[in-house]
Amino acid sequence: METFQNFINGRYVDPASREWIDSVNPYLGEAWARIPRSNDADVDKAVQAAHAAMYEGPWAKMNGTERGKLLQRLADLVERDAERLAEIEVRDNGKLYAEMLGQVRYHPKWLQYFGGLADKIEGRVIPIDKPHHFAFTRKEPVGVVAALTAWNSPLLFIAWKCAAALAAGCSVVVKPSEFASASTLAYARLTAEAGFPDGVFNVVTGYGPEAGGALIRHPLVSKITFTGSDATGAAIYQEAAKQLKRVTLELGGKSPNIVFEDCNIDAALSGAVSGIFAATGQTCIAGSRLLVQNSIKDEFSRRLVELGKTARKGDPMLPETNIGPVTTPPQFQKIVSYLDIAKKEGARCILGGAPVPAGALPGNQFVEPTIFTDVTSDMRIAREEVFGPVLSIIGFEDEKEAVRIANDTIYGLAAGIWTSDMGRAFRVSAAIRAGTVWVNTYRAVSYMMPFGGMKHSGIGRESGIESIESYLETKSTWISYDPNVPGNPFTLR
C-alpha cells in the first residue's frame, strides 16, 4: 500500500497527528493507499508557508512573464506524466480511465492559457477630473487562496482553480476530497520540478470539517475557491462571511436536457446518454432531468432504454467499460435510497432501478443505469441532486412549458437543448437560468469558456479570461503633482 504525505513549503511531510486515512479503490473495494489526516497544525504550517511565499519570498518579486514560464513548464510535466496521474485518479474515484486520461491530457491547456495571461494583467490610467493629479489602478493578487475540491475530477478542479490563481500571483493551499486525494498529492511534486518557489503550491489532505474547516477559518487565507455540494458550499459561505473572505463556489445541479420534436433524434439520444450515464452520473453537469416533447416521448424513451441496455459495467481501467462503480459508500447509499424514493413517489421505472447484486462485480458499488418516466416536477427525484446514473424523464407540450419546467429548480448550473430550429435555440437558451447552455451538444467544457452556476449552483465563474479577476484586487493610486499646498484641509478635495 502506498503512503502519501502532505506537500508543504516545497517538500513532502508527515501530518502532525501521524494519523492516516485509507484511500479505497471503489472498483475493488480495497484500500490501495493512505493519505494524511491533517489538523489545525498542518493547515497552519501550509498557510504560513503560502503567506510567506506571497509576501516575502521570490514569488512576490516574480513578474507575470516569469510566472507564465513556470506555468508553461508545469504544463509540459503534466503532459509527460498524464498516464500515471490518470491511473491514480481511477484508483481513487473509479471513473473511466478513458475519461480521466482525456481530462489530464487537457489539463495543460489551462496552465498554458492562464500562463499566457499572467503578463497581460493590467491596470488603467484614469483621466481624472482633479487638476494636478495622476491616477491609476493596478491589479494585485488577492492573497493566499484556499482551494477545496470534490472527488469526481480532482485534477480538473486544480486546473480550473490554480492555473488562474497562480497566474494572478497568488499562492495556494489545496484541500482535496478525503475520498480522492492521491492525484493532487502526486501532482504537487510536479510544481516543485517546474520550479515554483517553496510555499507557492501546498496540499493538505484530511476530512472536510477538520482539515477543510481549519483552512477556511485561517485568518491568513484571503480567498476560498470551492467545488462540492451546495450544502457544504453554503456552510463555507457563512464561515467565509465572518472574516469577509472572497469566495468562488462551484456547486451542484439538476440540469434540464430538453428534447424538442424537431431535433436530430440520434444526436439527442447520444446527448441524453452522455448527459446522465457518462461518469456514472457523478458529474455536476449531469443532464439528470430529460424533458421530452410529448409527441415523441414514448418512442424516444423506448430507444433510450435500448441504448441504456448496451452499457457495459465493469473495470474502469478497461476501454470496453461504459459504466464504472460509484465512488464512495455514502454516495452509493444515497443513490440507492433515491431509487426507492422515486418508486414511492409514483415514477415509473423503465430501466434498471436497482444496485447490481452483491458479488456480481468486485467492490459491490455498482448501480444499474436507471431511467424513470412519468416524473413530475414536484417529485424529489426531479428536484434533488442524485449524483448517479439515474435519469428522470418529464414530458412537455410546447416551448413555454419546457422553459417553465426547466427553470423550476433551485439549481442553475447547465442545460441542454436539442432542436433544428435556430430561432428556438436562441429563445430557449436565453430564457433558461443556467450558467451554461448547450444546443445540440452536451458536456462540452473548455479553458476558454467561463463555467459556473446561477442560483444554488454557485457563485462566480472559473475558466475564460474574466475568471482571473476573482484572484485579483484593484488598487486605486493617486499621485499629486500640485505645486501648491491645498487650502482647507478639513474638506474633501
Question: Contact residues for ligand NAD (CB under 6 A)?
Answer: 148-152, 175-178, 208-209, 212-213, 216, 227-229, 232, 235-236, 250-253, 284, 385, 387, 413, 453, 458
Q: Which is nearer to ligand NAD, 166 or 204 (CB)?
A: 204
Q: Which is nearer to ligand NAD, 231 or 360 (CB)?
A: 231
Question: Is 284 known to be catalytic?
Answer: yes
Instruction: List all residues 6 or more positions away from 206 whose beta carbon is below 8 Å from its beta carbon.
Output: 15, 21, 35, 36, 37, 38, 39, 42, 175, 178, 212
Q: Which is nearer to ligand NAD, 217 or 427 (CB)?
A: 217
Q: Which is nearer to ligand NAD, 227 or 293 (CB)?
A: 227
Element at 416 (helix H, strand E): strand 414-418
Q: Which is nearer to ligand NAD, 169 or 458 (CB)?
A: 458
Collapsed DSSP state (helix, strand, coil) of residue 474:
strand
Question: Is 87 known to be catalytic?
Answer: no
Q: Which is nearer to ligand NAD, 208 or 329 (CB)?
A: 208
Work out how close the CB of 401 gets to ligand NAD at its nearest, in angstroms, rounded to a whole number.
26
Q: Which residue has the cell 513556470?
A: 70
- The catalytically annotated residue of 250, 368, 385, 462 is 250
What's the rounded Cα separation, in Å, for the pair 434 and 420? 21
> Quick count: other Cβ atoms within 10 Å of Cβ 47?
24
Residue 237 sits at the vertex; the CA angle it makes with 234 and 241, to the nearest 5 degrees, is 145
What's the rounded Cα separation, in Å, for the pair 411 and 454? 7
Work out how close the CB of 239 gets to ligand NAD at its nearest, in angstroms, rounded to a whole number.
7
Work out how close the CB of 157 gets to ligand NAD at its nearest, in angstroms, rounded to a whole number.
7
Work out how close the CB of 327 gets to ligand NAD at its nearest, in angstroms, rounded to a whole number.
9
CB-neighbour burial class of residue 343 (10 A; exposed 0-12, middle 13-18, buried 19+): middle
Q: What is the 3-state secondary structure (H, E, C) of 279-300?
A: HHHCCCCCCCEEEEEHHHHHHH
Collapsed DSSP state (helix, strand, coil) of residue 175:
strand
Work out how close the CB of 49 gets to ligand NAD at its nearest, in angstroms, rounded to a whole number.
20
Work out how close the CB of 149 gets to ligand NAD at its nearest, in angstroms, rounded to a whole number.
6
What's the rounded Cα separation, in Å, for the pair 278 and 243? 39
- The catalytically annotated residue of 162, 170, 263, 284 is 284
What's the rounded Cα separation, in Å, for the pair 257 and 357? 30
Known catalytic residues are 250, 284
